[in-house]
A and B are shown apart, each in its own frame.
Chain A
Amino acid sequence: MKRLALVGVLAAAACGDTSSNPPLQLNLDRPVDITFACYGGLRITNGGEANPGQPVETTAQPVEACNIRSGPRETAAPVPVPFGQEDLTAMGGAPVIGAAWYAFILQSAPGTVAIAAWGTKPAIAFQNGDVDVLDADRLTPGKNSISVGEDPIAIATDRAGCKAITANAGSCDLSVLDINDALDQVTGVDVQRLVVTNASGVPIRSKPAAMVAEPMTTTIGNSCPAVDGKRVASGLVYVAYPSCNLVAGIDLATGQIVTGVQLDADGDPTIVTGAVSCPDECGDGAAALPGARPTTLDLEQDPRSGSRRLVIGAENSRKLSVIDLDLDSRPSGVTQVIELEDPTGTLGVTALALSPVIGMGGESHDIDDDNAPGGDFQFVYAVATDGTVRVADVLIVNTECDTQVDPRFLRDGSFTARDLSCFSVGVLGTPPRRPGARGPGIELVGDVIPTSVDFVRSRAIEGDTRAEQLPGKLIGTFAIVTALNGATFVVNVDDDDYPDQFDPARPLAVPVPLSLPHGLRDAVVDRGRLATQVVDGETQKLCEFNGPTLSNGGVEGGPRAATSPSRNVAQGAYALEKLTQLPGIRQLRCEGTDSTRAISELSFAAPEDVRDREFPDLRALRIEETWTLTWEGALSVDKRDSAVDGPVVREGMLFVDQSGMHLRDQTRPYCDAGVEPFDVVQMRGCDPALGNSDCPLTYRCYVHPTSQVQGLGACIRENEAERLADACKDFLTSIRRYTVARAESGEVLLMPRRHELRTTPIDGCTDDAQCEALGDYAARTQTTRHPIDDQATVDPHQWVCRADPTRKPRGTGNRRCNMACDISSDCATGTVCAGGNPMTAETKEGLCMEGITPAQSCVNAPQRYELRAGEAFLVAGTRSGYVHSTIADATGACRRDPTAHPLLTGRIPLTAPPCDPTADPISGRLPGGGYEPNPCSTTVSQTDVIPNYQPDTCTLATVPSNLVERQAPAIQFRNRGMNLNIVDPYYPGDNRCIADRGGTLANVPVVFPGYQLTFRQTGGFTPLVVPVSPSMPTKVVRGPTQSIWVIDEGDFLSTSIAQPSTRGKVFRVEVHALGLVNTLE
């Protein structure tokens, strides 16, 4: 029967049919772990040379036997065999049939082990459908698994490769599954319970949380160890017992603890003997001991150095214990503790993996550890409870490595490959951390939660015709990280197919985040591509090229604005012909073979050094998002299908007392939203077009009959509307826009906001006459006429120059042009007169307000409102939201975090401190430390498309426009991933014709609330993910021939008849070809 099983495996391996159909039955039931074995013919040589007289068995054997048989070879070449297993049939020896690989898949909930098998062959010969789930009991219908114990949590293969061991949390013991009996299908399955005892023979009955086995022997040719003719397990396993802070080394032959590592209350390890005790969690019952709870282990033997090390992580400790083991896999006495950064004191580790010793750096296009310029390192990757994967070197620097170093500081070549391999956390000389980083650990895209990690190595394939540096071409050492959302990420540990250093001469060719170790691998091809083409060997510049776009919507090349940024204005707010008067994003002159034009500094066609400067950290850019820069824009961007920074329209309660209007929200969202004093609260009332649906039951959406504000009602109780109509008239007929006087996490104090002339000079008005003139100027920006034809357009309202306490102070005395009134009919639509006196005919004493303080009775209903930035462009991304550093202080007041990185900002005012010419142009860092202001004011070269008028007329010439380059005032803005310049925060006005810029106005802005610049940024960081879709991946394991095995415990509940529901899956992925996936389910 065993031969039949093998034949089945080999036949399956030979089958070329790669199609798959929904299975009629499920083979797996919530797998949680996996181990591997090699089974087949074995000449018993006891490790010596072969001779024809030696017996041949079909038996389990060390996996090295299958490794050798799976080694690289020519297609037609014979299968390599281990030493001693040569074909001696010509000499009269018994034939040694081939061996095959087996996977023992642990299923925790049913307490069973499923078996899968595949043939021995090189990884590059692997195909879909090569792995098959076997039936452990052919006498029972269906594909059966083997019952092993109660709630098993881990499985491993013993030293001889003859037994699979499970650690059982439900029964606090181990189970020993005989691999020969499981696979030969003759003798029946043999599962033995192994009670764990201490040195005194007292059973240890604590619940295990993790288990690792010592490395398997590589001596091939021994029968499985046996005592009195019965096969026994061999070697050591280390089992983590969280409830007694112990990692016990258990002799599998006896079940006795022979060594161990005890963690103290601080998580520090001590090597112990078998004289240990633990609470009885499966018998009489006992409470867990306080202290560090070890829950994750790894034990690796480095193939180059032969060193063996055990690494221990605890779910409630920031400390990693690294234990050197001797050749018997017992602690050699050398231990080290790596302390992970833990500012909150709550860090723990839930999964980890120890890498081989890696020769870091180099671009040899194959693994070349011995000649690596960075020297040897050995890393522990630890999945931490802060949602990141922490990295520590445990060979050279023996500290945690900061994987979030700001790439802006790694461009000058001053760091060697060795430096780049591990920047020690908190050490002088380690560059600053990337702004907004959660900590030093690797963050997965989308803030998803990592669950498991393991390392794989991938060598170059002989004859590989793929281009260099392709994302899917893995050559070097990589970590595979699974995440709860089902994504499986690839992390560059040492990419031997990619340069190690940034190239200042070709800054886009090697983006720093892609060359650094310990970063997520990017999936986008050709990051260094430029807007050029080669014709007849000549490189030609292109200006119309926005970068390569794929048919599936993806992109190649680096980050850029997908199209030129656009200006959005509400209809009637500004004449379309005059839009270029408004602030914009800097443009450059581009001269290409396809055209000569003005292009955005953010465009693909921008010069390489400009693109490099504007997108200095690829990793900080989302794959794609739309950015908006909105004057007095909403602080929150959430729509129904997104939750980034809160809903645009919120609901709260308004309370009016002697101190003013208090807008309260019990969820305390204001500091979180980034509200600052002098921001704007726009009350939204209710939308009468929706009936009463914006209001609670028994309320109606009431619109005052005299209101001229469109779409703005107020929720008022059914029986109170008429009564309150007069009392609340001014409130109900105003546009209800207020200024934030004070912001706390749960309350903002509002003050009525004066209606200000948007063309009030940035440094303040001088007198009423100036305001009157600027009022006319503002009115003319809404007409399509040229200035010379537009002298008749005047603003009918009266403007006065007053100190305005409702606006953020600026200029001397904060004098603003306010709209004056005697009565509300003097005011603009939606504003009402406060303080007016119609009896004084000569001067208007009142001011027009955008909202007034109402009586409490007017605002007893829930209040819908928007939070908006005051007098600034609000920078928000559809995925990033509005980035700010506002926190709540001890009193609950909102304030900017004084320790925050200056790039954590999302506001661009029209005035800013001057930029510092000594600052680094990429990072903004000053030579003496610190950063230049952000935003800051500067002057930049700007290219405009200027109308070309015929002399002394406003008639366009034959060539209707010219490209004109000029020095323009600008506000330079940086955020986590992008730099840009807003040019022309104010406009001098035109003299004769539109856009002739011939005016003499000084520092007069023309922006207005709602004016928006927008662009879609694309080509951001796109993580390479393994193409599998688990529901809840709990573990990733490196398998034979460096294959990647993703263990998916989760149920998939199908809603399609074409796709079955499953109870967990196991995916095998080939590291050299990530698209090659075998799925077991």
Chain B
Amino acid sequence: MTPAQLVALGALGAALAGCTASAEDVRPPDDRLFFPTGVAVSPNQKLLFVTNANSDLTFDSGSVAVFDVNVINQLVTEWQTVGVPAGCTPDSDYTETLNCEAPLVLDTTRQSGVRIGNFATDIAVQDRDDGGGELRLVVPTRGDPSITWVDWTGERLQCRDGSEGHALCDDDHRLSFVLNDDDLVSIPEEPFGVFADTKGEFAIVTHLTTGAVTLIDSPRNGNAVITDIVTGVFAPDPSNGVRGATSVAGRTPQMPGDIIYVGSRSEDRVQTFTVGRPVNGAPPFLLTGSYFFLDAVGANNGQSNDTRGMAFSGSGDRLYLVNRRPPSLQIFDTSLGPTGFPKNDPIGATDLCRQASTVTVANSGDGDRVYVTCFQDGQLYIINPQGQGSVDDIVTVGRGPYSVVAAPDAKKLFVTNFLEDTIAVLDIEPGSPTRNRVVLRIGERRTP
């Protein structure tokens, strides 16, 4: 069932039940997690943004919650050096883990969040710092479908006029049509992955069921607007008709002329794009670049597709790509060759869990580590990409780990656990006795 159908069913159910819940009753809470999906950190690693997908439609909208990383760090430090902080409890199964309810952690930032559409899938951060720490968040939401953009003012998220905290984003911040013109094309269904390019001032959204890619022009001092949609980027899988674009990542998002890599659900191919900006000030568009195939792993066995995550190393010289068929993390050398063009050569791979969902890479002091969430198994795979890559650790993080992001300066890793409404915080400090362990779980675990 698609999210749109779910929405309709929910509405129908509410109507049939004669539901008289007030707007306040169905207003999403600002101090808890409900089906957390996307997670991102600010470039200065002081803020953590989490999308709540509201996937059971308990509330009338989803939200973006803002966490102060310092608060999280203080809780962990207190737990590890002093004792159990007030309002938290040690985990009964894992002695190194502290459980803290979300309101405690969100205490100072609950009014900094905003409300958005249902079924948010991902979140990307564009740095537009003018000295005050300004940012822009881009969030695909499958329910409408639409793409929401929200600005961080330095103090709170803002997506409508006024000073109300935890406000519902207005229509200007909800992008559904090219150039915001409802006479023009609307975005395809199932927006899925998102990548924001700080230097290029754009964002790109993939579409899970259509194989389309949407470009959002996002000038740092202007409104975000959809300017181009490329359809048919990926062909359907001939065996089942499924098609889709999934993961998206930029090689060097802090530098001009970034190359964007897009993976597919149905093809064993990675397609690259760049963004063209006409000199006459016309809206930017996507330029289709070269592509390469994922036939270095599993191809001899007839399975080499369903890419679900991509992340680049800080230098852009390595691409880490998560494939579901076969379950694998694949490592590509994307450094520039003697011709000045990225090599895009496969150099290694490791076995992974099934149903891996997202990937991030972080260097917290002793080289890159790649972190992959395993939705089905409730695990996080930690991979050392040296050599051909090897699994460093497999950590149980919670039910339905969806997305992962690192704050290397804080030596922390954050995983959203979609099925239990929590965020698992892992210690990633080299040499720490709790390295690669969940040291804090934020949120009250929802029972299955």
Contacts and interface: CB of A to CB of B under 8 A. Distances in A.
Same complex? yes
Interface of A: 30, 108-109, 151, 170, 209, 279, 283-288, 293, 295, 315-316, 348, 350, 383, 385, 387, 446-449, 451, 483-487, 638, 640, 643, 646-647, 650-653, 655, 665-669, 671-672, 696-699, 717, 745-746, 856-857, 860-862, 886-888, 892, 894, 897, 1029-1032, 1034, 1049-1053, 1055
B340 A350 contact: no
29 contacts: A151-B394, A209-B390, A287-B365, A293-B386, A315-B386, A385-B348, A449-B388, A484-B298, A484-B348, A486-B301, A487-B300, A643-B269, A650-B290, A651-B288, A665-B289, A667-B272, A697-B285, A699-B285, A745-B339, A745-B341, A746-B340, A857-B280, A860-B278, A860-B282, A862-B285, A1029-B301, A1031-B298, A1051-B354, A1053-B303
A209 B386 CA distance: 13
Interface stretch (B104-112, B145-153, B188-196, B322-330): B322-330
B173 to A, nearest CB: 21
B435 A285 contact: yes
Contacts of A30: 351
Interface residues of B, number: 76
B177 to A, nearest CB: 10
B433 interface: yes
Contacts of A279: 431
A544 B365 CA distance: 69
A1029 B394 contact: no
Nearest to B276: A653
B258 A666 contact: yes
Contact of A1032 (B259, B289, B298, B366): B298
Contacts of A385: 347-348, 387-388
A96 B269 CA distance: 60
A279 B289 CA distance: 46
A645 to B, nearest CB: 9
A647 B431 contact: no
B20 interface: no
Given A283-B433, A886-B339, A717 B282 contact: yes
Nearest to B272: A667
Interface string B225-243: 0011100000100011000
Interface stretch (B22-30, B39-47, B122-130, B178-186): B178-186
B283 to A, nearest CB: 7
B164 interface: no
Nearest to A483: B300
A698 B391 CA distance: 48
Contacts of A1055: 239-240
A283 B432 CA distance: 9
A348 B340 contact: no
Contacts of A640: 235
A449 to B, nearest CB: 6
B257 interface: yes
Given A287-B366, A651-B289, A1050 B300 contact: no
Interface string B264-289: 00000100101110111011011111
B341 A697 contact: no
Given A283-B433, A861-B278, A669 B341 contact: yes
Contacts of B288: 651
Given A283-B433, A671-B339, A698 B179 contact: yes
Given A643-B290, A862-B287, A888-B340, A1032 B349 contact: yes
A316 B386 CA distance: 8
A699 B229 CA distance: 12
Interface in B83-106: none
A contact face: mostly helix, strand, loop, or mixed: loop
A655 B300 contact: no
A636 to B, nearest CB: 9
B259 A667 contact: yes
A667 B431 contact: no
Contacts of A1031: 298, 301, 303, 326
B341 A1052 contact: no
B345 to A, nearest CB: 8
Contact of B228 (A283, A697, A1049): A697
Contact of A288 (B184, B325, B430): B430
Please name the 5 residue pairs, one residue from A and one from B, whose CB atoms are nearest each other, closest first. A745-B340, A486-B300, A315-B387, A672-B341, A696-B285
A469 B287 CA distance: 53
B299 interface: yes
B328 A1050 contact: yes
A764 B325 CA distance: 59
Nearest to A1031: B326
A749 to B, nearest CB: 16
Nearest to B178: A697
Given A485-B299, A672-B337, A655 B346 contact: no
Contact of B297 (A295, A383, A671, A1032): A1032
Nearest to A150: B394
B162 interface: no
Contact of B287 (A170, A485, A653): A653
Interface in B318-344: 324-328, 336-342
A887 B301 contact: no
Contact of B326 (A860, A897, A1050): A1050
Given A449-B348, A643-B293, A860-B282, A696 B433 contact: no
B200 to A, nearest CB: 9
Contact of A672 (B240, B293, B340): B340
B11 interface: no
A850 B365 CA distance: 58
A668 B340 contact: yes
A643 B291 contact: yes
A344 to B, nearest CB: 10
Contacts of B346: 449, 484
A677 B327 CA distance: 46
B434 interface: yes
B295 interface: yes
A980 B239 CA distance: 43
B286 A696 contact: yes
A1030 B303 CA distance: 10
A667 B434 CA distance: 42
Nearest to A284: B433
Contact of A697 (B184, B340, B347, B387): B184
Given A287-B430, A643-B290, 9 more contacts: A385-B387, A449-B349, A449-B388, A666-B274, A666-B287, A668-B336, A698-B283, A856-B279, A860-B279
A857 B281 CA distance: 11
B387 A669 contact: no
A1032 B184 contact: no
Contact of B431 (A286, A1030, A1034): A286
A511 B132 CA distance: 71
A1055 B239 CA distance: 8
A446 B296 CA distance: 9
Nearest to A860: B278
A285 B394 contact: no
A224 B240 CA distance: 57
A285 B387 contact: no
Given A315-B387, A448-B296, A1032-B351, A651 B431 contact: no
A387 B301 contact: no
A669 B430 CA distance: 39
A85 to B, nearest CB: 42
A1027 to B, nearest CB: 11
A350 B331 CA distance: 14
A667 B326 contact: no
Nearest to A296: B387
A315 B390 CA distance: 11
Nearest to B235: A640
B297 A484 contact: yes
Nearest to A1049: B351
B425 to A, nearest CB: 17
Nearest to B346: A449
Contacts of A672: 337, 339-341
Contacts of B291: 638, 643, 647
